[in-house]
Amino acid sequence: MGSVTVRAPAKINLQLAVGGRRPDGYHELATVFHAVSLYDDVTATEAATLQVTVGGDREIPFDGVPRDDSNLAARAAIALAEHAGLEPEVHLHIHKGIPLAGGMAGGSADAAAALVACDALWGTGLSRAELHTLATTLGSDVPFALMGGTAVGLGRGELLTPALARGRFEWVLALSDEGLSTAEVYAECDRLRGRRVLPEPRVSDALMAAVRAGDAHALGPALRNDLQPAACSLRPGLRQILDIGDEYGALGSVVSGSGPTVALLARGTEHALDLAVALGASGACQSVKRASGPATAARAVEGSAARRV
């Protein structure tokens, strides 16, 4: 029985500039996506009907992941099958390494992985451009999981331009057992802003220069997220994590996406270990992960005779 396993990365937003609400209900965004080395694996296996099962790392609660066709990976398989004129006869097993509702696009990573895995399993032979088009119908973050690396996102985040990024950045990720609703965070952002007229969101020149140069010391102060005040309003404990980052010399700290994950930029691997230990001892977060970026896009995992690409 054929099987394909695809690994897709988490993302953090180095910058998330949020404009006003559009007529379609989304907000206009200008963001810099950055893939980091925290991953979900999706294994697609031939089956008589569409099935979804879920497992995961011990530190990542996954009970809340849907096991039906409301799961974003299942929706990706259905979309690809419809596009190719096939039945979605596949068993998708999702192994979670990305926290749920943490602002790191774990569900979007699963959808991207499912697209790549089912394309290989069914031999549909779609180009990356065709997969990207399907990805845009599934969610704003799904196209970036197909691209990986670092990229500028406009519109609602789906209009992507790859960004030149030199070197590696070392991150410490402060995780929470309890996620935040993206819709609630955006609603709180709108409430806090009131009726202010908002400028068109744009990407910071200083941040992009730091990314191009691979300069962590310049990148830290440039990290920005317009949703951070809203996330901190809904989850006041996030401020303690940001303060700990300052106390222990993080080059910069930012709530990732809609939160509640906080990404802290370290000076290097040894400093990342020190930051992780300090955060773990503080009790301010439920768990801590270290990661580096930019990470690669959704890709087939090598090393198993049962997997084919």
pLDDT band of residue 59 (cuts 50, 70, 90) is: confident
Is the per-residue pLDDT at 302 higher than 60?
A: no
The arithmetic mean of pLDDT across residues 88-103, rounded, is 93
Is the per-residue pLDDT at 22 higher than 60?
A: yes
Q: What percent of the chain has pLDDT over 70?
A: 97
* pLDDT value, residue 307: 36
pLDDT digit string, tens, across residues 214-251: 999 999 999 999 999 999 999 999 999 999 999 999 99
* pLDDT value, residue 298: 94
pLDDT digit string, tens, across residues 251-270: 999 999 999 999 999 999 99
CA distance linking residue 125 with residue 141, whole number of Å: 23
pLDDT digit string, tens, across residues 165-186: 999 999 999 998 788 999 999 9
CA distance linking residue 303 with residue 8, whole number of Å: 16
Length of the chain: 309
Picking from 130, 129, 211, 204, the residue whose alpha carbon sits closest to that of residue 168 is: 211
Q: 3-class SS at 58?
A: coil
Place of tokens 């990365």: 9
Residue 82 per-residue DSSP state: H
pLDDT digit string, tens, across residues 267-285: 999 999 999 999 999 999 9
Q: Verify whether residue 226 is a known catalytic residue.
A: no
Domains of the chain, CATH where assigned = 1-309 (3.30.230.10)
Contacts of residue 78, defined as CB under 8 A and 6 or more positions apart, other chains included, come to 50, 69, 88
* pLDDT value, residue 306: 36
- H or E element at residue 266: strand 262-266
- Cα distances (Å, whole numbers) of residue 256 to 20, 24, 105, 173, 300: 20, 24, 10, 9, 26
* pLDDT value, residue 204: 97
Tokens standing for 269?
A: 């691997």
Q: Which of 40, 110, 119, 141 is catalytic?
A: 141
Q: What is the mean pLDDT of the chain?
A: 93
The arithmetic mean of pLDDT across residues 20-29, rounded, is 91
The arithmetic mean of pLDDT across residues 54-77, rounded, is 89
Q: Verify whether residue 141 is a known catalytic residue.
A: yes
* pLDDT value, residue 85: 97
Buried b (16+ CB within 10 A) or exposed e, 5-38: bbbbbbbbbbbbbbeeeeeeeebbbbbbbbbbbb
* pLDDT value, residue 305: 34
Instruction: Please tell me the pTM assigned to this model.
Output: 0.92
Q: What percent of the chain has pLDDT over 90?
A: 83
pLDDT band of residue 60 (cuts 50, 70, 90) is: confident
* pLDDT value, residue 116: 97
pLDDT digit string, tens, across residues 103-132: 999 999 999 999 999 999 999 999 999 999
Q: Which of 11, 110, 119, 289 is catalytic?
A: 11
C-alpha 203, offset from chain centre: 18
CA distance linking residue 165 with residue 211, whole number of Å: 5
